[in-house]
A and B are shown apart, each in its own frame.
Chain A
Amino acid sequence: NAGVTQTPKFQVLKTGQSMTLQCAQDMNHNSMYWYRQDPGMGLRLIYYSASEGTTDKGEVPNGYNVSRLNKREFSLRLESAAPSQTSVYFCASSEPTYEQYFGPGTRLTVT
């Protein structure tokens, strides 16, 4: 039982490049989330998916897109990376109203 897995663990991009962060969970959870974590600012919600086939914007969605591929997988795409998107990205999953389980994170640097 791996819980929530994220790939890649580290990534360096140049401004304007695109990439997709992958997330998968094996706990059969309906809800999945993408957060970014910046120093001194805690975690901020980018997008979430309450169930397969639905996605909604969180607090900081600009510059990102998401895809809920199936119940297990929820990807985050940066179409044209900017230095302001340098951050640590966390994926999480949960059943509604219950504990959110977090993955190990992806450290992204945009130069």
Chain B
Amino acid sequence: GENVEQHPSTLSVQEGDSAVIKCTYSDSASNYFPWYKQELGKGPQLIIDIRSNVGEKKDQRIAVTLNKTAKHFSLHITETQPEDSAVYFCAASRAARQLTFGSGTQLTVLP
């Protein structure tokens, strides 16, 4: 089955700096890669996703890059703000059905 590894497990940045979280996956047939943000006491919420026919996708301050050859994908958050502080999860699947999640990254944005 699919295995997703996520790094780092914790990340602290100064407000206004950029944050990068990286994930690798094992199943070359995976073709859907979402990123979720989870705030304390809440369920995960999708913030951006990318499919295997695209190398990069941006949405305002958030971007995701995908390298299919190396089987890794990354989340980039620019101009970080205190409200970006949360746990972020990457995931991988074939056709968005059975998601396999990474272990999560606790992002803290320091004011």
> Which A residues are closer than 8 A to B by beta carbons?
4, 31, 40-45, 48, 50, 58-59, 90, 92, 94, 96-105
Contact = CB atoms under 8 A, between A and B. Distances in A.
B44 interface: yes
Contacts of B95: 96-97
Contact of A102 (B1, B4, B43, B104): B43
* Chain A, interface SS category: loop
B64 to A, nearest CB: 14
Contacts of B6: 42
Given A59-B100, A100-B96, A105-B42, 18 more contacts: A4-B43, A40-B103, A41-B103, A42-B4, A42-B6, A42-B89, A42-B102, A43-B89, A48-B97, A90-B44, A96-B95, A97-B32, A98-B96, A99-B34, A99-B49, A101-B46, A102-B36, A103-B43
A4 B98 CA distance: 18
Contacts of B99: 43, 45, 100
Given A48-B98, A50-B97, A97-B96, A42 B46 contact: no
Interface of B: 1, 4, 6, 9, 32, 34, 36, 41-46, 49, 89, 95-104
A32 to B, nearest CB: 12
Contacts of B98: 45, 48, 58
Contact of A94 (B1, B42, B96, B103): B96
Contacts of B9: 40
B97 A97 contact: yes
B42 A43 contact: no
Q: When A and B form their complex, which 8 residue pairs have the shortest distance between CB atoms, in order from nearest?
A: A102-B43, A42-B101, A97-B96, A43-B101, A42-B103, A99-B46, A102-B44, A97-B95
Given A42-B104, A97-B32, A99-B34, A104 B43 contact: yes
A105 B9 CA distance: 22
A103 B42 CA distance: 8
Contacts of A98: 96
Nearest to B4: A42
